[in-house]
Structure 1
Amino acid sequence: MSELYIPVPTRIILPNTKANFVTYLKQDDTYVLYSISGEQFSPEHQLRLELQDITTLYVSREEEEELNAYVERHIARVLADSSIPIHARAEAWTRSASSVGRDLFEKKLPPSMLKKHYDRFEKFITESASIFKSPEGLRELSKLIADGYDIYHHGLGTTVLTASVLLSFEGGEDLLAECGAGAMLHDYGKLKLDPELLKMDPTLMKYGEKQKWDTHPILGVQACAGIPLPPEGIHCVLFHHEREDGKGFPGRLKGEDMPFYARIVSLCDHYDRLTRKQHYRSAYTPFEALKAIRDDKGLYNRDAFMRLVNVLSDANIADL
């Protein structure tokens, strides 16, 4: 029966807010009604729960979307509340981020709806800056977003890494919304490709297959025309397979021809892709992924690479 309910730390339900879902208390193996949908949570609610040593409420899985929407609305307050354990804040963030990100990847969205979902994601990423700056937060997020090889799973992983590295630059916060969303959408063009092609190892594709696969950055920019993406977002989508040595695609840009934030997305895309299980191979460990990137001398910008290493090292995710 427990799989029918989602455990939620009591602190996630913030005072002076309304939740459009029912919450329950667990007594032995029974779930007992605590609050009704639309009820205003007050400081007295929180105090009463604390006095009874109750740290967890439960929400029916049937109302998971409402729970995700609630966290999305209040994400800045949730992440800023140090009384909520960091792993609980990371879980709440991941659940809501997955929901917002998945909505972006719904097929055949009309332009107006795609624009609405894009604006939601930009706002959500901007309000999430505090967890990207936190090594402990990044460590917890990395555990939660590591699984899955769908395009939006990889997009979410690339977004988290991009945001964490970007915020290590002075002024990086000013680019967080556009580049975070661009990182999320960097593989959007793959939705236009044959799903069977996406299961293949790009290094083993035949010439015609590789030609089709190489079009996905351009297809991504075209598919996002209805948003429309800001220039920084376009750069992130279009340039994420370029290389420092000019041997990437689609533009064969070299070094300084590519904006620094697009280099960050390219690097984080590569790292996340290596550490994520694929149809054709198992996942690399963080150490193996960083070593593979380091050994490919023409792939990366050294400053961006060292910042990624430092971010992962500070979070105790990888050591090189």
Structure 2
Amino acid sequence: MESTAKQDPTAFKRIEFLVVTKNAELLSVSKDLVEHYKFRAEYSDSVDTVDADTRLSSSPMMILISLEEIEGLQERMKNLQQLRAAFPRSHIVAMVAGDESTDDCEMLRGSGARYLVLLQEIKNSSKLYYLAALLVQGTYIPVPVSDLFPSTQVNFNAYHKLVLNQKFLPVIFSGFTFSDKKYRQLETAQQVYVRREELGEYRKYIETYHDQVGAALKKRCRVMMMSLMALYSEILLLLSLDCEAGKKDLVQSKVSEFVQGSQDLGRYLKDCPDVWNVIAKALDFQFCRYERGPYILAYAVYISLKADWGQMQDVVMTALLADLGILDLTPESFKTLQKKNEKHLKPEELERYRHHPMNSLNRVMLRELEVSNETKSSIVCTHERNDLKGFPNQSPADKIPAEAQLIHFCELLDRRVRASLEDGILTHDFVRKQVWEEEKDSLKRFNAAFLDKIEKVLVA
């Protein structure tokens, strides 16, 4: 067994990613993924040979196990149950053969598998890379202790991250009444962590104890963006993972929840002080270094409301679905897009990238998601340009939907804002004005009517 966790002899740090497989192809992809994200990982060829120290001292964020090489459904379920018993808080992702029945898949999930992934998906798409980043870097979400109030009851668990071994220690329990003493103990840490699946309860707490003015409204905006991030990633995985096919009602329910949450976010943002910086700094955790969808959504919802541009439901649905096809790109393309941009793709990769809007729409249609014809057109046109040099169809400017123009602009805005804030040089106000002026001078990406319409929101 190989272990990257024991390279530092001075301190133990928790294993983030545990891989259990004899499959050479899965092992190769896993090691490449670990190198890309710099995860602390261990590898084992069976559940029985998982390192004893890992069992006793660590709780990996994600466990990837290959079930393809394990004979029989009962034996596969037994292996999953062993992992679940040893690591009750870990997310277990199981690689399956693809010939399992719907009932078999449900039994594997019931035995502990959070997600089921096919080997072909792992080899030929970026779904595992997205999933790993989400589960390892986006499971525990930091929240300020100042969001909480003494003498209030919380309906979520919260955790403190230990510096020495990076483990998450429970410090607040659901149903717990927050005492003055407990609050003072946590104040020195400044922040605690909430698991992604409990963000809904955390949101309810914020909306119960914080009003809709001033700093309290900023907190509402931030927690709503957190909640939407969790929904956004869940919907993308439900739509993209082949083993999640057949869950039409669940997907539609999640999408309806996402639309309602986005409308609530727009209501909060419309009157939020320092709104641009609130959006840009709302999701200050690792996963959202790469996951840009919720930022683009927030910018688009705000501009749409303030400038009266586009239909809100179509804006939201386009922001949700336009980049779904990115997950069908190869791992190499996905890694390049995360660390650089499309200009650094190889010619054959760039050609495939330019078809991702059509792939997004195709997957939406394949899963029979209920979307309007306007949203379908908008999904395909989010990379079209005023100068006819966009993709995938080089659509004429007058055929590009208003919602697609808005999402395209917000994607550009987010990229520039993010780069500038990371450099610590420019303010959001400066970048916003600069982007708008550059686009107005060139009129290559956007037409004058659109830019004039959003000027008062961007530049004022």
TM-score, normalised on structure 1? 0.71
Q: Which of 249, 274, 279 is 2:391 aligned to? A: 249
Contact 1:11 / 1:83 at 8 angstroms: preserved in 2? no
Counterpart-to-counterpart distance in 1, 2:281 and 2:455: 17
Q: Is 2:305 aligned against 1:167?
A: yes
Question: Deviation string for 1:11-67 (max 9, x for gaps)?
Answer: 789x9xx8532589xxxxxxxx9996347x9xxx9xx98xx99xx8x9963x53465
Query: Which of 300, 304, 309 is residue 450 of structure 2 equivalent to?
Result: 304
Judged with a 3 Å threshold, the aligned counterparts in structure 2 of structure 1 residues 215 and 79 are, in CA distance, closer, same or farther, namely farther
Query: In 2, are the aligned partners of 1:158 and 1:183 still within 8 Å (CA)?
Result: yes
Distance 2:254 2:305 in 1: 24
Residue in 1 that maps onto 2:358:
218
Q: Are the structure 2 counterparts of residues 270 and 182 from structure 1 closer, same or farther at C-alpha, using a change threshold of 3 Å?
A: same
Q: Structure 1 residues 260 and 224, CA, compared in 2 at 3 Å: closer, same or farther?
A: same
Say which of 309, 316, 326 aligns to 1:190: 326
Structure of greater Rg: 2
Task: Give 1:305 shift.
Answer: 2.4
Counterpart position of 2:108: none
| Cα gap change, 1:71 to 1:308, in 2 (>3 Å) | farther
Q: 2:234 aligns with which of 96, 103, 107?
A: 103
Deviations along 1:284-308, whole A, 9 cap, x unmatched?
A: 9525544543443221122332444
1:267 maps to 409
Alpha-carbon distance between aligned partners in 1 of 2:312 and 2:206, rounded to the nearest angstrom: 16
Contact 1:182 1:233 in 2 (8 A): yes
Superposition pairs of residues 263-302 of structure 1, within 5 angstroms? 263-277=405-419, 286=431, 288-302=434-448
Distance in 1 of aligned mates of 2:350 and 2:142: 45
SS at match of 2:195: helix
Q: Matched residues in 1 for 2:372 and 2:447: separation?
A: 24
2:294 matched to which residue of 1? 156
Query: 1:22–1:60: 8 Å Cα contact kept in structure 2?
Result: no
Matched, 1:94 2:225: yes
For residue 139 of structure 1, what is the amino acid of its counterpart? N
In 1, Cα distance between the equivalents of 2:449 and 2:286? 29
Would the aligned equivalents of 1:100 and 1:117 in 2 still touch at CA under 8 Å?
Answer: yes
Q: Give 1:207's aligned amino acid.
A: P
**Residue number in structure 2 paired with 1:138:** 276
- 1:232 corresponds in structure 2 to 374
Deviation at residue 152 of structure 1 after TM alignment: 7.0
Aligned to 1:317: none
Deviations, residues 167-206 of structure 1 (Å, cap 9, x unaligned): 134485xx32331231132211100001321315433544
Q: Write the distance in 1 (CA, Å) between the matches of 2:384 and 2:141.
A: 45
Quick check: 1:165–1:311 contact (8 Å CA) kept in 2? yes
Match of 1:20 among 155, 173, 188: 155
Shift of 1:232: 3.3
1:153-175 Cα deviation digits (max 9, x unpaired)? 22112111111111134485xx3
Contact 1:276 1:283 (8 Å CA) reproduced: no
2:342 equivalent to 1:202: yes
More displaced 10-residue stretch of structure 1: 79-88 or 181-190: 79-88
Structure of greater relative contact order (alpha carbons < 8 Å, 6+ residues apart): 1
C-alpha displacement of 1:96: 1.8
1:234 is aligned with what amino acid?
K
Give me the TM-score of the superposition, normalised by structure 2.
Answer: 0.51
Distance in 1, Cα, partners of 2:312 & 2:450 = 16
- Point out where structure 2 has 5 or more consecutive residues left out of the alignment: 1-139, 160-169
**1:240–1:59 Cα change, 3 Å:** same
Deviations 1:50-89 (A, max 9, x none): xx99xx8x9963x534651124557877786227534323
1: CA distance, partners of 2:373 / 2:204: 27
Whether the aligned pair in 1 keeps the contact of 2:210 and 2:216 (CA below 8 Å) is: no
Instruction: Decide whether the 8 Å contact of 1:293 with 1:300 is kept in 2.
Output: yes
Q: In the alignment, is the contact (CA less than 8 A) between 2:235 and 2:251 conserved in 1?
A: yes
Counterpart of 1:179 in structure 2 is 315
Conservation of the 8 A alpha-carbon contact between 2:156 and 2:202: no
> For the Cα contact (< 8 Å) 2:318–2:403, is it kept in 1?
no
Stretches of structure 1 lacking an aligned partner (at least 5 in a row): 25-32, 315-320
Q: Does the 8 A contact of 2:222 with 2:283 survive in 1?
A: no
Aligned-partner Cα distance in 2 for 1:151–1:212: 24
